[in-house]
Structure 1
Amino acid sequence: MPPASAASAPAQPAAASTAPAQTVVPEQSMQTPAPPSRSLTWLWLLALGGVLLAWWTAWRRGQHLRDEAERLARQQRVLKSAHSHLQRKSEKLQHLSMHDPLTGALNRQAFGVELRDRIDHLAKYNLPLSLIVFDLDHFKQINDRHGHLVGDKALALVVGVAREHLVSDDVFGRFGGDEFMVACPGQTAAQALTLADTLRQAVAARAPIADPPIPGLTLSLGVAQADPERGYDIDDLFARADAALYVAKQRGRNACVAADDEAPMPVEAAAVRRHL
């Protein structure tokens, strides 16, 4: 039987009871924090998807705007080209409406408008204007003998010579058939008569050496002047120049004649002409 002292002795507390109490940390708390919950992950994914969708929408919209800008630019180029084409066509039609298609000289109507404008301007300052009216001698015989193609070349030759000797202020037109007119603003009848004789001599010298040659091609020319003394009436100016042309024909053609106010206007000339 064990001794009483041993049996009655109280049980010794564990050594751990005398040591300070220590907190036992669960093993799980010392590990890496737990990942976010699944709902938070979905929120991030939705946010990222929204950003990507917004970027895609903006990119597509930008691409659409670029495509639209390019389409509008192409359309603008097409419209600009069409506008330029219509403008050139309009200018061509306007040119054709004012110019003789064979010779390129102003037609009768356009010449009349230009002549009126020049006379109205010069009349304000009491300045002269001279009118030269001329035609081709025996033009019908040239057509009958050599054909209308040669006749057209004769007209072209005369127009070419005229353009070589006219200045920019001069107004050149075809009255009809083989008859032409030159208005010389600021020029006296004497100055215009000198120009007329220069044209006459140049045509007579050029015709025999033309291609093809047009022997016998000459001009008859009449000159009249508008000024404060004689007045600025266009019909009267044309009638006096036309009468002078008729006198040149009566003198044997290939001649230049200035209108003489003292001489009566030939009735035959006035009967076959029409006013501007």
Structure 2
Amino acid sequence: MATQGSVERPATHSLTWLWLLALGGLLLAWWTAWRHSRRLKEETERLARQQRVLKSAHSHLQRKSEELQHLSMHDPLTGTLNRQAFGNELRDRIDHLAKYNLPLSLIVFDLDHFKRINDQQGHLVGDMALALVVGLAHEHLVSDDLFGRFGGDEFMIACPGQAVPHALALAETLRKAVAARAPLADPPIPGLTLSLGVAQADPERGYEVDDLFARADAALYVAKQGGRNATVAADDETAAQVVPNSVRRHL
């Protein structure tokens, strides 16, 4: 009996150690897997944070790029297209319309006696006068229209697909709106009116941008010479009156 007991105890002891070794192996495997899982989770969170930072930086750069592009194309005071951007857009529209023999009307206008407003009421009121005119123009323009500032107090509106009668009606609406609203501004801007010249590009007159602008500019000159606060449509007679005695300007 003693001999049998001594044989069973080593066997039981060996089995216990095998279980302990197996359990230790399982614990080691679990701990290793847990460590690996934790490191993987930490790395995933780190990459997610890094991705958020990169996404935020990308959005910031994109906004800055859009802001710079907007500033490069728009007049900082009035928010309208600047001269270069307006000219580029106008050429693109005219090239497209020329393929289908469709018209485009151009309105060139400026503020009457703008220098006097600046001199008598100050440049701040002058800026307010520009803002008033631009705001009223936006009230009457449609999405296809182009609106730009040539420089100083001179602006341009292009109406793609529209003939002179439409542009004349728009110009007259704007002229009357400015004359009516200016005295009611805060502070009032008495005497603020517009002079406007209108010209059309079409198969008969051609689609050359500088010629279109010159004809509209000539009509504006006639409106100014006729007493201001008026709208004039370009024709051969207005061009003949102006071109020989003035320097042709270009977009």
- Tell me which interval the TM-score lies in, with the shorter structure as reference length: over 0.9
- Corresponding residue SS for 1:221: strand
**Equivalent residue runs for 1:165-244 within 5 Å:** 165-244=140-219
1:88 has 2:63 as partner: yes
1:146 aligns with 2:146: no
The DSSP-based 3-state class of the residue aligned with 2:127 is helix
Find out whether 1:249 has 2:224 as its counterpart.
Answer: yes
Is structure 2 residue 104 aligned with structure 1 residue 129?
A: yes
**What's the counterpart of residue 242 of structure 2?**
266
CA, structure 1 residues 220+27, in 2 after alignment: closer, same or farther (shift >3 Å)? closer
SS of the counterpart of 1:71? helix
Aligned residue for 2:20? Answer: 45
The one-letter code of the counterpart of 1:266 is V
TM normalised by structure 2 equals 0.94
Query: 1:130/1:33 Cα in 2 relative to 1: closer, same or farther (>3 Å)?
Result: same
**CA separation of 1:27 and 1:222: change in aligned 2, threshold 3 A:** closer
- Asked if the contact 1:240/1:265 (under 8 Å) is kept, the reply is no
| 2:32 corresponds to | 57
Which secondary structure state, in structure 1, belongs to the residue aligned with residue 109 of structure 2?
Answer: strand
Higher-Rg structure is: 1
More helix by share: 2
**Is the alpha carbon distance of 1:141 and 1:269 closer, same or farther for their aligned partners in structure 2, counting shifts above 3 Å?**
farther
Residue identity opposite 2:74 in structure 1: H
SS state at 2:9 partner: coil
Contact 2:103/2:201, CA 8 A, preserved across alignment: yes
How many pairs are equivalent?
Answer: 250
Identity %: 80
Deviations 1:145-178 (A, max 9, x none): 0110000000000000000011111100000000
Partner residue in 2 for 1:11: none
1:135 Cα offset (Å): 0.2
1:62 and 1:118 map into 2 onto residues whose CA distance is: 61
> Which amino acid is the alignment partner of residue 242 of structure 2?
P
Are 2:130 and 1:155 equivalent residues in the alignment? yes
What are the superposed Cα offsets for residues 178-230 of structure 1, whole Å, 9 maximum, x if unpaired?
Answer: 00000011111121111111110000000000011100000000000000000
TM-score where L is the length of structure 1:
0.86
Amino acid paired to 1:102: L
Structure 2: tracts of 5 or more residues without a match: none
CA distance in 2, matches of 1:29, 1:54: 38
Q: In terms of mean alpha carbon deviation, does 222-231 or 45-54 score higher?
A: 45-54
